[in-house]
Structure 1
Amino acid sequence: MSEPVDLSPPRRGIIFILSAPSGAGKTTISRAALKAIAGLAASVSLTTRKPRDGETEGIDYRFVSEDEFKRSLSLGDLAEWARVFESSYGTPRAPIEDAVAAGRDILLDIDIQGARQIRDKYRADAVAIFVLPPSFIELEGRLRRRATEDESKIQHRLERAREEAKAFPEYDYLIINDDVSDSIARLEAIVNAERLKVSRLRNHFAPWKN
Structure 2
Amino acid sequence: MEGKRGNLFIFSGPSGVGKGTLRKKLFELVPDLCYSVSVTTRKPRKEELEGHDYFFIDEETFRDYIKANKFAEWAKVHGDYKGTLVSTIDKALAEDHDMVLEIDVQGAMQIRERYPEGIFIFIVPPSWDELENRLRGRKTEKEDDLKKRLEDARTEMEQAKYYDYMVVNNQLEKAVEELKAIIVSERCRIKKQDKTIMRLFNCSN
**TM-score after normalising by structure 1:** 0.90
The 1-side partners of 2:84 and 2:193 are apart by: 26
The SS at the match of 2:201 is: coil
Query: Which residue of structure 2 aligns with residue 139 of structure 1?
Result: 131
User: Given the alignment, which residue of 115, 124, 142 partners 1:122?
Assistant: 115
Segment of structure 1 superposing worse, 32-41 or 133-142? 32-41
- Does structure 1 residue 209 correspond to structure 2 residue 202? yes
- Does structure 1 residue 65 correspond to structure 2 residue 58? yes
How far is the alpha carbon of 1:146 from its aligned partner? 1.3
- Does structure 1 residue 17 correspond to structure 2 residue 10? yes
The 2-side partners of 1:161 and 1:15 are apart by: 24
Residue ranges of structure 2 left out of the alignment (5+ in a row)? none
User: Given the alignment, which residue of 75, 81, 102 partners 1:82?
Assistant: 75
- Does structure 1 residue 167 correspond to structure 2 residue 179? no
Aligned residues: 201
Quick one: which amino acid aligns to residue 161 of structure 1? A
Instruction: Give % identity.
Output: 40
Contact (CA 8 Å) 2:38, 2:82: kept in 1 or not?
yes
The SS at the match of 1:130 is: strand
Alpha-carbon RMSD across the aligned residues, in angstroms, is 1.8
The SS at the match of 1:49 is: coil
Deviations 1:36-65 (A, max 9, x none): 213101101100111001000000000001
With over 3 angstroms needed to count, the CA separation of the structure-2 counterparts of 1:26 and 1:184, relative to structure 1, is same
The 2-side partners of 1:190 and 1:80 are apart by: 23
With over 3 angstroms needed to count, the CA separation of the structure-2 counterparts of 1:12 and 1:205, relative to structure 1, is farther
The 1-side partners of 2:32 and 2:146 are apart by: 36
Contact (CA 8 Å) 1:96, 1:106: kept in 2 or not?
yes
